Amino acid sequence: MIQAIGLTSNPRKELRAAVDDVSFEALAGRVTAVLGAPGAGKTTVLKLMLELQQGRGVACFRGRPLHRIAHPSREVGVLMGEVPGHPARTVSGQLRMLCAAAGVPARRADEVLEVVGLVGLRDERLGTLSRGMDRRLGLACALLSDPHTLVLDEPSDGLSAREARWLHGILRAHAAQGGTVLFTTNDPKEAARTADRIVTLEQGRVVADQEAADFARTRLRPRVAVRSPHAARLGALLAKEARSAQRSVEVVREDGNRLSVYGSTCADVGETAFRHGILVHQLADEIGDMKPVRAQAEDGGSGSGSGSGSGSGSGSDGDGGGVVGDGGTPGPAGTPSSNAVAPLPPPIAVRQAPSPLRPLRYELRRAAGVGTGYLTAAAVLVTSALLSVILARIGHTPQPRLLAAWPREFPLPPAALGAGLLGAVAFGEEFRHPALATDRGTVPRRLGLLAAKLLLASVTALTLAFLTVGCDLEMLYLVYGRELTAIPADWLSLTVSWTGLVVGCAWAGVLAAGLFRSTTAGLAAVLAVPVLVVPLVQKVWEGPSVRTAAGFPLRLRELVMMQWPFGGERFLTAGVRMVAQPVGGALMLSLTALLCAYLLTTLRSRVR
């Protein structure tokens, strides 16, 4: 069950809080709807419950708040908005990536695809899916980890009537198996048709918390719909009898031969029509402006009228009717529906044991599932090769900078910028996808995931660095011959500096994107190193003061110039030389600050 207690959003400036002291319960085995007009605060309530937005109050899932659950994705399946995966990722690739994140077998993706009817679209790109198919994929993502609770934000928005009935049947089937279902909607008819209990919001406050039958009776204004060629005469008789009996009955003449009778029943209207010999073509209970729920008489065919037939219907195929539940299980009104529902995916009997390779598997699927990395690498290699040829043509460029395609006017070489960009996009999926963002046991505040991202970013950066140098050498050889392809004498220290620069930029992108939850912030942190941090470091080292530290890099190198086994002093010297350089020192300073900030936010989220 879900217990929401005192949920209140933080007000913005002079505006009132979007949600103010919202409390309700959603019981296991039942479907609960949060109903409200656009802007009533429905989505904010869900974000507060899932800890995706700061505020006051607490929401407990089977007695525990979300941040106290070791694996939230196994407890709560979430569908909010469109599936925000990369448009170039395939349907199957998206689900397999989420399988790796949640620690469930990859075959689970095929099971949920079969349930939601997307097996034939498994190789389609997310960017090509229609609204209905996107909703189906979102539901598949929510069901992936076999959660006990489903939290869905307007899941039927934009769906056809047939797709909406299918979706409601899935929700009803999940509740029938003992699960908890909570969804939001702005359609009172949908809430009455689908839910067992309805919580109504207005301007961020709870104004009603009712069973579906009570909601339909008190808030949807039930009525009797009548169609008759003598509608005017029948309406007058009904009004006259109501005045005589001193009953509160309202008769409203609709378009054509249709009447809407409020405060009466099908039996009373049918008896009046029968007594006065009025032909009735239709007599049905309706709720709000829904289509008929129980058609009591259709096409009476004789002048004597037909007032109270015993047939029952469920409205047309377009909308279903009343408060009848979908999917072959009894609805809130106790009337079963004949619609067949696809079975839910089988429960996960055995969970995989925690493994340090799980974040790495997720990272590999995330990075290899789209062409961003490949396109970035290709752009870096082409740009570097062209720059190296242009710089060689102009002249006056040192050999190391020529091989790295690094003009003095550029803050960073293309390879370092490309590595920083790939590092910055590493956290993009987690902050867009609610199924990942809510799972604090996996992302984004998990050191195992951070280690996997740093490892993959390092391998990618090293590959990019060596490919860049190799392509530059090959282009210089093809254009100018062997004159510019000589290996520098201090190649070891240059190699350490080059790889350290590229890997450091990749790490800065990863840490900054994870800390600030933004890909743009990650790339900005990479560019800030040569543009802002390097001048600041140089000013600190060489600025006027009573005692300066201008000779620190030289003394540091002298300190470590000792004999190390297996020639280790050469590698240590190369590393010290890299750190002693302005860019290297600034990069180390930035990485240290970013890592400490990330660890601080991680510890804070764990003790909350």
Distance (Å, rounded) from C-alpha 512 to C-alpha 508? 6
**Which pLDDT score, from 0 to 100, does residue 542 have?**
62
Lowest-pLDDT range, 42-56, 76-90, 317-331, 548-562?
317-331
> What residues does each domain of the chain span?
2-211, 221-287+290-298, 410-466+486-607
For residues 73 and 111, the model is more confident at: 111
**Which pLDDT score, from 0 to 100, does residue 408 have?**
85
Quickly state the pLDDT bin for 508 (edges 50, 70, 90): very high
Residue 199, Cα to own-chain centre: how many angstroms? 24
Q: Which of 157-171, 481-495, 567-581 has the highest mean pLDDT?
A: 157-171
Residues 6+ apart with CB under 8 A from 64: none
Quickly state the pLDDT bin for 103 (edges 50, 70, 90): confident
Token representation of residue 27: 């019981």
* pLDDT surpasses 60 at 568: no
3-state SS, residue 176: helix
For residues 593 and 444, the model is more confident at: 593
Quickly state the pLDDT bin for 445 (edges 50, 70, 90): low
Tell me which DSSP letter residue 125 carries.
B
Indicate the Cα dihedral angle 514, 515, 521, 523, nearest 10°. -50
- For the chain, give the percent of residues with pLDDT over 70: 77
What is the tally of helices (H) and strands (E) in the chain? 23, 15
Q: In what order do the strands lie in the sheet with 180-185?
A: 76-80, 149-153, 180-185, 31-35, 197-202, 205-211
Lowest-pLDDT range, 5-14, 150-159, 488-497?
488-497
What CATH class is the domain 221-287+290-298?
A: alpha beta
Pair 2, 149: CB distance under 8 Å: yes
Quickly state the pLDDT bin for 507 (edges 50, 70, 90): very high
Pair 42, 201: CB distance under 8 Å: yes
The model's pLDDT over 253-310, given as tens digits with 9 standing for 90+, comes to: 887 789 988 888 899 999 999 999 999 999 988 765 444 443 333 333 333 333 333 3
Pair 502, 467: CB distance under 8 Å: no
The model's pLDDT over 294-349, given as tens digits with 9 standing for 90+, comes to: 333 333 333 333 333 333 333 333 333 333 333 333 333 333 333 444 578 877 76
- For the chain, give the percent of residues with pLDDT over 90: 35
**Which pLDDT score, from 0 to 100, does residue 331 have?**
37
For residues 359 and 110, the model is more confident at: 110
Bridge partners, 252 (sequence order): 260
* pLDDT surpasses 90 at 459: yes
518 class by beta-carbon count within 10 Å (0-12 exposed, 13-18 middle, 19+ buried): middle
Strand intervals (E) in 96-141: none
3-state SS, residue 350: coil
**Which pLDDT score, from 0 to 100, does residue 293 have?**
41
Pair 414, 76: CB distance under 8 Å: no
* pLDDT surpasses 80 at 2: yes
Quickly state the pLDDT bin for 74 (edges 50, 70, 90): confident
Q: Which residue has the tokens 């195992």?
A: 448
The model's pLDDT over 418-436, given as tens digits with 9 standing for 90+, comes to: 999 999 988 876 665 544 4
> How does the average pLDDT of the chain come out, rounded?
79
Pair 65, 149: CB distance under 8 Å: no
**Residue 384: how many CB atoms within 10 A of its CB?**
25
Token representation of residue 418: 């490309």
Overall average pLDDT of the 227-253 stretch: 90
The model's pLDDT over 338-392, given as tens digits with 9 standing for 90+, comes to: 344 457 887 776 566 567 788 888 889 988 888 889 999 999 999 999 999 999 9
Strand intervals (E) in 288-348: 294-298
Lowest-pLDDT range, 66-70, 298-302, 561-565, 603-607?
298-302
* pLDDT surpasses 70 at 223: yes
Residue type, 393: R
The model's pLDDT over 76-97, given as tens digits with 9 standing for 90+, comes to: 998 887 776 788 889 999 899 8
Distance (Å, rounded) from C-alpha 370 to C-alpha 86? 8
CA torsion sign, 251 to 253 to 254 to 258? positive
3-state SS, residue 560: coil
The model's pLDDT over 195-221, given as tens digits with 9 standing for 90+, comes to: 999 999 999 999 999 998 888 877 777
Distance (Å, rounded) from C-alpha 126 to C-alpha 429? 14
**Which pLDDT score, from 0 to 100, does residue 496 have?**
81
**Which pLDDT score, from 0 to 100, does residue 294 have?**
38
According to CATH, the topology of domain 2-211 is Rossmann fold (3.40.50)
The model's pLDDT over 135-173, given as tens digits with 9 standing for 90+, comes to: 899 899 889 889 999 999 999 887 888 888 889 999 999
Residues 6+ apart with CB under 8 A from 258: 225, 226, 227, 231
Bridge partners, 7 (sequence order): 22
CA torsion sign, 468 to 471 to 474 to 480? negative
